[in-house]
Structure 1
Amino acid sequence: MITRIFGLSIIVTVISLVVAYLYGGMTALLLCAILGILEVSLSFDNAVINATVLERMSEFWQRIFLTVGILIAVFGMRLVFPLAIVWVTAGLNPIEAFDLALNPPPNDAPYFDNDPSRPSYETLLTDAHPQIAAFGGMFLALLFLNFIFEEREITWLSWLEKPLAKAGKLDMLSVVVAGTGLVLVAEFLAADDDRSTVLVAGLLGMIVYILVDGLGSMFHTEEFEEGPQGGPSTLVKATGKAAFFLFLYLEVLDASFSFDGVIGAFAITSDPIIIALGLGLIGAMFVRSITVYLVRQGTLGDYVYLEHGAHWAIGALAAILLVSIGVHVNEVITGLVGVAFIGAAFISSLLRNRKGEPDAIEDSKEPASV
């Protein structure tokens, strides 16, 4: 099964490395491999969250996510998105932006011929970091807050999660906390020239999350049957409009997770072709394969704290994105924090299973269809 799940990712990796070598020699090959590893390390928590949503989708929509979704992830977020930022911020047309990306100034200087009127592609993208971080940070913050403010049978960090769940009975508390955090970040971390931009971008991130999550919940409620406890049954897979909005939710979520990887990639190389090959083809393909593996193996049902660990990793990533508006945070730290939460949740799940505690979601488990 592992060969079947990861086989395509391995083939794509080999092809990508060969293309990178033909494109730029051994240096390009090594950079491509490093970016692939970077993306997987930064996005493992993304794979866990993807799996929790993907389990609720019909087989057809699961395949849509794993085919059309991968095209959006590779070409949309890892290639077109950085170029689009340059189009908007620099007032360049797409061809000029792509030419600027392929022809950086010598010695990776921030400007051409020391002319501030001609910034490099990397400089333009880095200058757009505050609004990117504000949008992605607020989207992920709401995802995290809505999770920890919700009461649930199984808790991981019970000493903290249970009091937070009780506090979550206050309506819209997650929006209040997220909005307060955005104001504090704009006031104390953002540069004077960036405050309004950070506020607008952060509000847009909140609006997008509320809209997509709300639409998904609305159709989810209409199309899912009730389970034994009165909640939606996981035995009924989302189809039609419900699955479509879950698909949109996954794509926006993937985009939010991609921000730190795309920005971090420029610490390694500014070549868009290498970034697309490393982050997009290698990294994104392996993240999709990990997602499929988690769904098919029923890993989230066997290791019940993984979802909790992933959401805490999301909360940490959201905080890092917001802090990075005013303070540089090394990408290695970002990756290690996510891995630490997932690893701790996995070990806690193993210990729980050894104690023979009942699996609270045993009744909802079924063979996955991805």
Structure 2
Amino acid sequence: MNQAQSHTSLFGYLKWSIIVTVVGLLLGGVLGWQTTGTVSGMLTVFFICAVLAVLEISLSFDNAIVNANKLKDMTPVWQQRFLTWGILIAVFGMRIVFPLLIVVIAAGIGPIDAIVLAAAQPDEYARIMHDAHLPIAAFGGTFLMMVGLTYFFNHEKDIHWVVVLEKYMSRYATIKGVEIAFVLALILIFSNILDGEASYTFLTSAIYGLITFLAVELLGGLLDASQRAMSEAARGGLGAFIYLEVLDASFSFDGVIGAFALTQNLFIIAIGLGIGAMYVRSMTIMLVEKQTLTHYRYLEHGAFYAILILSVIMYVQTLYHIPEAITGLGGASLIGLSLWSSIRHNRQERVRDVDLASGEI
């Protein structure tokens, strides 16, 4: 992404998202007409697609901020690859292939049979997806929790939003593996609360989530260590690309599972969440090119707090149902509060600069 494009208008950033929205909603309307044969049915599917898009945006805005934080350090070549290949993986991989793969594994059927099941028996398909919620929540919750804690347990972090808490975490970041120990303790607590097979499933899936995070971190470290031996196109990119793809997958778990509360039709879900994913991509580009994270110093903190809240919610969802609206509003509220704090800080800085210039201080 070229920094010369930083003066692009809001419409310029959202152009392709708007085009995808129009095409997606039209496809939703056509699908609704084909499946119901009535105008009311068509409008219902149209509305569900729109709601799913809003759900995906609300759940994934913190994802866009984290993506922007990682993208700003990537080479332009890998930035472009993430924003092209990455969005294809995000839309088709996580919103279509991933739900199909769950059914293939859970039901022990082939991919073609899973597609037929999604089209012909959506209720059964939805039941299988809901039954797979526990291991998905354990895996995704663990990965996201490690992402959030690693950000705060960093002894080099010198900008703090919630000062007392973040200074405390930064101080103890020098203890190797402190965040891993915290997550493992939480895994043991939740696995002991659950009973029987559910306990074993949660424990196993959570450990896999932890191992996946550590493996991605290890791979990124190895790639960073061998930068000088790598081609210019690959420097500072492949490890971050893999990290962002796994991160996007973890963010997508909650939205994909939650979508089945609105509809059991896989294709409607793919359209709605796909529209939302395009807006997340547009927001990511805008955050990088406008250097928003630099101008609003606490915005990144709000995103990582939202990630931690989401990870805890995913854990708690293994015990109780929590509406997706609460998940989305919780994350959006934290990000909004961090934005307000950033604006307030900027105003105070400007006032201080004026006072210094006038000699009052």
Indicate whether the TM-score tops 0.5.
Answer: yes
Give the distance between the partners of 2:185 and 2:83, measured in 1 at CA.
36
Conservation of the 8 A alpha-carbon contact between 1:86 and 1:121: yes
Percent identity over the alignment is 44
> How does 1:92-131 map onto structure 2 within 5 Å?
92-104=109-121, 108=123, 120-131=124-135
The amino acid that maps onto 2:168 is P
- Structure 2 match to 1:18: 26
Report what 2:259 is aligned to. Answer: 265
Are residue 316 (structure 1) and residue 309 (structure 2) matched?
yes
Greater percentage in helix: 2
- Equivalence map 1:1-370=2 (5 Å): 1=8, 2-24=10-32, 25-104=42-121, 108=123, 120-151=124-155, 152-188=157-193, 190-223=194-227, 239-240=233-234, 242-280=236-274, 282-356=275-349
Cα distance in 1 for partners of 2:153, 2:271 equals: 39
C-alpha deviation, 1:218, in angstroms: 3.3
Deviation at 1:165, TM superposition (A): 1.3
Structure 2, unaligned runs of 5 or more: 1-7, 33-41, 352-361
When normalised by structure 2's length, the TM-score is 0.89
User: Residue 239 of structure 1: CA displacement?
Assistant: 4.5
Question: Which whole-Å CA distance do the structure 1 matches of 2:15 and 2:198 have between them?
Answer: 45
- Runs of 4+ displaced beyond 3 Å: 221-224
How many correspondences in the alignment?
330
Residue aligned with 2:349, SS: coil
Cα distance, 1:104 vs structure 2 = 2.7
Give, in whole Å, the separation in 1 of the partners of 2:29 and 2:217: 42
Counterpart residue identity of residue 244, structure 1:
L
For 2:197 and 2:279, the matched residues in 1 are separated by 39
Give the whole-Å Cα distance in 2 for the aligned partners of 1:321 and 1:357: 41
Which amino acid in the other structure matches residue 345 of structure 2? R
Deviations, residues 173-225 of structure 1 (Å, cap 9, x unaligned): 0110011111111111x34222111111111111111111222133335539x
Residues 57 and 239, structure 1, Cα contact 8 Å, conserved in 2: no
Match of 2:35 in 1: none
Q: Give the equivalent residue in structure 1 for 2:5.
A: none
Query: In the alignment, residue 165 of structure 2 is paired with which amino acid?
Result: L
TM-score w.r.t. length of structure 1: 0.86
Offset of residue 44 of structure 1:
0.4
Q: Which amino acid aligns with 1:5?
A: Y
Relative distance call for 1:325 and 1:241 in structure 2 (3 A) is farther
- Contact (CA 8 Å) 1:191, 1:326: kept in 2 or not? no
RMSD in angstroms over aligned alpha carbons?
1.5
Other structure's SS at 1:326 match: coil
Mapped to 2, the partners of 1:241 and 1:131 lie a distance apart of: 35
- Which SS does the other structure have where 1:56 is aligned? coil
Contact preservation (8 Å) 1:74, 1:276: yes
Residues 199 and 239 from structure 1, CA distance in 2 versus in 1: closer, same or farther, beyond 3 angstroms? Answer: farther
Tell me the CA shift for residue 357 of structure 1. 7.3
Contact 1:140 1:256 in 2 (8 A): yes
* 1:277-296 deviation per Cα after TM superposition (whole angstroms, max 9, x unaligned): 1002x110000000001001
Q: 1:92 offset after TM fit, Å?
A: 1.2
Contact 2:75–2:235 under 8 Å retained in 1: no
